[in-house]
Chains A and B, each alone.
Chain A
Amino acid sequence: MQTASDFRQRSEEALGNPQIRRNFRFAMDGLMAKRRAGLSDPREREQLRTQCAGIRVNALSKLPELLEQLEGNCTRNGIQVHWAESVDEANNIVLEIMRQHDATRMIKGKSMVSEEMELNHFLEDHDIECLESDLGEYIVQLAGETPSHIIAPAIHKNRHEIAELFRQKFPDIPFEEDPEKLARSAREILREKFYKADVGLSGVNFAVAETGTLCLVENEGNGRMCTTVPPVHIAVTGIEKVVEQLSDIPPLLNLLVRSATGQHISTYFNMISSPRKPGEKDGPQEVHLVLPDNERSRIYEDDELINTLRCIRCGACMNHCPVYGRIGGHAYGSTIPGPIGSVVEPQKIGLDTLGELPTASTLCGACGEVCPVRIPLPDLLNRLRYEGVRNNNDGKVKGQSEQRKGTEAWIWKSWSWLHVQPMLYRLAMRTATRLRSLMPRKLGPWTDVRRPPRIAARTLHELAREKGFDNA
């Protein structure tokens, strides 16, 4: 796994790669325009955001009860529920199910939780073929990469790069650069894989406690294939994805899809409530639901950070983030990139390794403004910056205070002390203005790409006095 100590280096590499810059700029501009067009009525948009935020807050406020209700209803419907405290436990649960069926071929629908588990590597180490079937995920897997965006995993590549990848991997297929023809090639290749797979794995967008229903949003039909054709279906989803009732689903689906891509609805919305029942002719004979915790219950304990768990994974925050749009998804070095990634990942992995991610933000506020469930992302980024440099270990965030640097702490302490000493403050400002010509031309990384700041000839107090403010 990459670590964020390489974050600066990866950001610099991305910024220095004009192809990556162009690909992201093009994609982000497109996604922002589509969301704007898809949610053009501000009154309706804000009403839906308030409604969906309420649904998620309600679900989180009753999370343990709803999880028990979900488990009870799923079990009654014939879905086998498995709980996992860590990603290791979750991986082993999946492996055990595969072994019970002597299964060696898995076909996967899109699942960010399986990325969090690094399930593909884990299963491949146990000689299980694990194939991604979402077109973007498939492209990324062919290239030996990781997704750079949560809903558009191959967004960092353009059609020429993808066509070239297909040429290398499938020399027998005629070379095509047209996206639709590339998609049709993937269709032909993957059909056989759906047909032969022993187990299908998928994520879950929403799990409904009231009815024990697993809901999946998708456009391609690969999610339906994975959950319908193989004899066994394994769904993996974080414990926070549960909602209370079925009537919560229509507004969430509506806003998720429009926030993500600006579509009025996705091509498929797949609601699974049980395995194949007696007499039914198709569908998996077994359905398993794996619920990994992986630090979510720790995040849950903090009344501010709990809002991290509202997320419905639409990707709007990254589409609108000026930092993500420039450095792209891979620079973050985490499963989920962008503003929500910078909030959720350091809490899971620890601020000691990913503590720089909350600083990958200008705090412009765009992420918070577009979030469909009103997660106060800028506040949470600020909070994690604080947790990273706090001067004690009384907090709960993993790796707290590990980003604290002695010099930086001393500078801020002095700054704060100086500002409550009026005489000294004036003297210091006066000295600074008089000695301004001694200001160094090089000021660390700041001046690598900018001119050095210039100190004014006279202090603000002096200027004010000249204007006649006698209390200045």
Chain B
Amino acid sequence: MHNARDNILNRLRRQRPEFPPQDEPASMDEGNETTLQQRIEAFTEKLRSVRAEVHLTTEQDWCHKLQELCRKKELDNLLYGNQGPLAEAMEKHWNSDDSTPRLVTLNETIESWKEPLFNDIAAAVTSVRTGIAQVGTLVLWPTLEEPRTYSLVPPVHFAVLHADKLYNTFAEVVEEEAWQEGMPTNALLISGPSKSADIEQTLSYGVHGPTELVALLVS
């Protein structure tokens, strides 16, 4: 369809559009300087407002907290990336007794584990790259160790986020992390469990993505 390309571009170049001068947006004094505590509070409030769970925890405790939540939710198993950033702590602290869900890892590519992923996995835990306080958002760049489907297919998604990585706005994340210098295969903003308002504008949670989103905010 090379012709189509040239024809379209030629048509677009036939006449350069002339727009009247655009107004400059007024500068907003957003009071950008926020303390970590303010960012934690904003993040927690916003994320909880969309029926996500947020648990404040510490570097020493998050793994115990995760186990406790898994037990409470009576989960059979928990998917994690055994080469990922959470692996060391999880393998060290995970108590294997009858009430604790089995830790599961999936090697090779999705072609070999699509079936168990869709049918057997009860929950997955992933790390989080950073967070956005103002809107209660988790920012993920899925990796080889923690692939894209981990935060999508299992019914429960646990996300471990270090509070010191909280930015105030999405614009700050893009700018300060210089995303334009190299984007990953997939970058994701996740702000709550899957939901829809397609029936009578009534919010229903748990449509196609995880029905529960649990953020462990480590500080």
Contacts and interface: CB of A to CB of B under 8 A. Distances in A.
A53 B134 CA distance: 23
Interface string A408-427: 00000000000000000000
A180 B205 contact: yes
B147 A298 contact: no
Given A53-B22, A250-B170, A264 B198 contact: no
A221 B170 CA distance: 20
Contacts of A44: 28
Interface string B181-218: 00111111111111111111110111111100000000
A269 B140 CA distance: 10
A271 to B, nearest CB: 4
Contacts of B18: 303
B5 interface: yes
B152 to A, nearest CB: 5
A291 B7 CA distance: 13
B interface bracket (residues with beta carbon within 8 Å of A): 35 or more
B179 A297 contact: no
B200 A219 contact: no
B215 to A, nearest CB: 14
A interface bracket (residues with beta carbon within 8 Å of B): 35 or more
Contact of B198 (A71, A135, A276): A135
Contact of B152 (A183, A219, A221): A221
A269 B175 CA distance: 17
Most buried by A among B5, B13, B185, B206: B185
Contact of B200 (A26, A268, A306): A26
Contacts of B144: 279-281
A266 interface: yes
B110 A282 contact: yes
B209 A272 contact: no
Contacts of B171: 247, 250-251
Given A135-B198, A187-B208, A221-B210, A50 B180 contact: no
A139 B11 contact: no
B198 A154 contact: yes
A280 B109 CA distance: 7
B208 A228 contact: no
B145 to A, nearest CB: 9
Contact of A89 (B1, B110, B179, B188): B1
A414 B20 CA distance: 36
Given A186-B207, A267-B194, A84 B11 contact: no
Contacts of A228: 148-149, 152, 186
Given A152-B201, A183-B196, A195 B114 contact: yes
A294 to B, nearest CB: 10
A212 B184 CA distance: 11
B56 to A, nearest CB: 21
Interface string B93-119: 000000000000010111000110010
Interface stretch (A9-17, A59-67, A118-126, A461-469): A59-67
A266 B28 CA distance: 23
A454 interface: no
A30 B199 CA distance: 13
Given A61-B17, A135-B207, A221-B152, A67 B9 contact: yes
A403 interface: no
A265 interface: yes
Contacts of A246: 174, 179-180, 183
Contact of B8 (A154, A183, A297): A297
Contacts of B34: none
B25 A152 contact: no
Contacts of A264: 46, 134-136
Contact of B204 (A179, A272, A297): A179
B152 A27 contact: no
5 contacts: A67-B8, A269-B189, A273-B187, A276-B185, A300-B11
The 8 A-B residue pairs with the shortest CB-CB distance, nearest first, are A221-B209, A136-B198, A297-B11, A269-B189, A282-B110, A179-B199, A180-B204, A183-B204
Interface of B: 1, 4-5, 7-9, 11-19, 22-26, 28, 46, 50, 106, 108-110, 114-115, 118, 134-137, 144, 147-149, 152-153, 169-171, 174-175, 179-180, 183-202, 204-210
Interface of A: 26-27, 30-31, 43-44, 46-48, 50-51, 53-54, 57, 60-61, 63-64, 67-68, 71, 82-85, 89, 93, 133-136, 139, 152-155, 157-159, 162, 179-180, 182-184, 186-187, 190-191, 194-195, 210-213, 219-222, 224-225, 228-229, 239, 245-247, 249-251, 253-254, 261, 264-277, 279-283, 291, 293, 297-298, 300-301, 303, 306
Given A250-B171, A250-B174, 11 more contacts: A53-B23, A89-B4, A133-B208, A135-B198, A183-B199, A194-B208, A246-B180, A253-B170, A272-B186, A283-B148, A293-B8
